[in-house]
Amino acid sequence: MAAEAQIDESEQTPPVYEHIHEDPEYHQLRKAFRGFAFPVTVAFLVWYLLYVVLSAFALKQQTVNGKVSNVKTGLGDFLSTPVIGEHINVALIFGLLQFVTTFLIAFLYSRHASKNLDPLAESLNAKAVKFSQPGTSGFKRTPGRRKQKGTGK
């Protein structure tokens, strides 16, 4: 009888993450993250793959009878084009720019997160803390979001 009288609190009060997921600020946070992350990721992958593809068509060195000679491939010798002196060429510049690009993206993401993501995340965190206190709720349901079928949520 005592076991029947116990109420499963998880069925009465949905977990805080469900309320966060329903909050419009959460969807705004995800949109702000995706709006930065996806385009920058695609741009960097295109830039990186350009370097890889151009490297595949760089001059190949061939040794015949102890003599080294360059063999042109499909696109010729673009990456081996000297830029400064005879040892600083386009390939070296492109390779170093890969590192510069990586650090630039990290810097830009940090700025973007501080300006656009952190305030929303802090607001959601404050609501979650408020929600976890008995008798309070800082969440508003997103208009048009339906409860999951069969879960009662």
Q: How many CB atoms lie within 10 A of CB 138?
A: 15
Query: For the segment 109-118, what is each residue's pLDDT rounded down to a tens digit?
Result: 999 999 999 9
- Dump pLDDT digits (tens) for 44-95: 999 999 988 888 776 666 566 766 666 655 555 777 778 898 888 888 899 9
The structure's pTM equals 0.66
The alpha carbon of residue 63 and the mean position of all alpha carbons in its chain are separated, in whole angstroms, by 44
The alpha carbons of the chain give a radius of gyration, in whole angstroms, of: 28
The Cα–Cα gap between 11 and 18 comes to: 12
Q: Residue ranges per domain, the chain?
A: 15-132
Q: How many CB atoms lie within 10 A of CB 137?
A: 13
pLDDT at 10: 47
